[in-house]
Amino acid sequence: TKKISIAIDGPAASGKSTVAKIVAEKLSYIYIDTGAMYRAVTYKALMKKADIHDQDELIRLLKETDIELKQKNGGQAVFLDGKDVSKEIRDTEVTNSVSIVAAHGLIREELVYRQQKLGEKGGVVMDGRDIGTKVLPDSELKIFMLASVDIRAERRHKENLEKGYPSDFAKLREEIMLRDKNDTEREISPLKKADDAIEIDTSSLSIEDVVARVVALARERI
Ligand code: C5P
């Protein structure tokens, strides 16, 4: 059977990665979380006390940085220069700095190049902000996932509490709104629905509903 590529884009905390992971598992495809790559370089920059507004400094850092996405059962582990940083890249400090790092054109160029190499053989489910528009413009299935900011903040809040992390709903909501604003308004490859993407509003859908819909759409194209 043919191996297609599936692009899933959408705003922060819209459920992209949860859905992408399960879809990849069901189709025996590789899941690629591109946000994790932006997070990994942001984490390294913060660790090295680099200036995240200084593109030249960041690109020098990135060129000598190895980011590996390893498939784990039911998910993905992120290795930065050989070290597992899957947890660290979800820290609040990284989350609130990543959209500044991701706005730099040279950083995007380098990461898009790496993402395209990972996706060139097909058989991938890739999630991010610019997958359908820029990274995999020829992918056979493009999904744009949406949900209201209240619902997204609520889901993230619940997830934090379940994991035993401290969580402040109002603050989460603010942070999600700011990240969306940065991602939508940036000059280079802003968050935008590709013309040929299929929109799914997940506000009133369960994860299983969304997964079923995406898998059905994928099977039509395989
Ligand atoms: O997907 P996630 O929320 O982990 O992404 C973190 C950040 O990385 C986004 O808010 C965005 O600034 C950036 N990003 C991006 N392009 C992608 C994936 C993520 O700019 N393809």
What pTM was computed for the model? Answer: 0.97
Q: For the chain, what is the largest distance between any 2 Cα atoms, rounded to a whole number of angstroms? A: 48
Over the stretch 3-32, which tens digit does the pLDDT of each residue have? 999 999 999 999 999 999 999 999 999 999
- What ipTM describes this predicted complex? 0.99
From ligand 1's centre to the CA of 1, what distance in Å?
31
From ligand 1's centre to the CA of 216, what distance in Å?
26
What Å distances lie between residue 222 and 2, 20, 182, 212, CA to CA? Answer: 6, 17, 35, 15
Question: How far is 36 from 67, CA to CA, in rounded Å?
Answer: 9
Question: Which domains does the chain show, CATH number per domain?
Answer: 5-221 (3.40.50.300)
Average pLDDT over residues 125-150: 98
Identify any residues that bridge with 9 across adjacent strands, giving them in sequence order: 128, 144
Over the stretch 150-164, which tens digit does the pLDDT of each residue have? 999 999 999 999 989
Closest residue by CA, ligand 1 atom 3: 12
For the CA of 12, the nearest atom of ligand 1: 3
Give ligand 1 pocket residues (Cβ under 6 A): 12, 34-35, 38-39, 98-99, 102, 128-131, 179, 183
Over the stretch 26-83, which tens digit does the pLDDT of each residue have? 999 999 999 999 999 999 999 999 999 999 999 999 999 999 999 887 779 999 999 9
Does the annotation list 65 as a binding residue? Answer: no
From ligand 1's centre to the CA of 109, what distance in Å?
14
Nearest one of 13, 15, 25, 2 to 125, comparing CA atoms: 25
Identify which of 37, 111, 183 to mutate to test ligand 1's pocket (most ligand atoms within 8 A of the CB).
183
Over the stretch 178-195, which tens digit does the pLDDT of each residue have? 999 999 999 999 999 999
For the CA of 17, the nearest atom of ligand 1: 1
- Take residue 85 and report the two structure tokens written for it: 């940083």
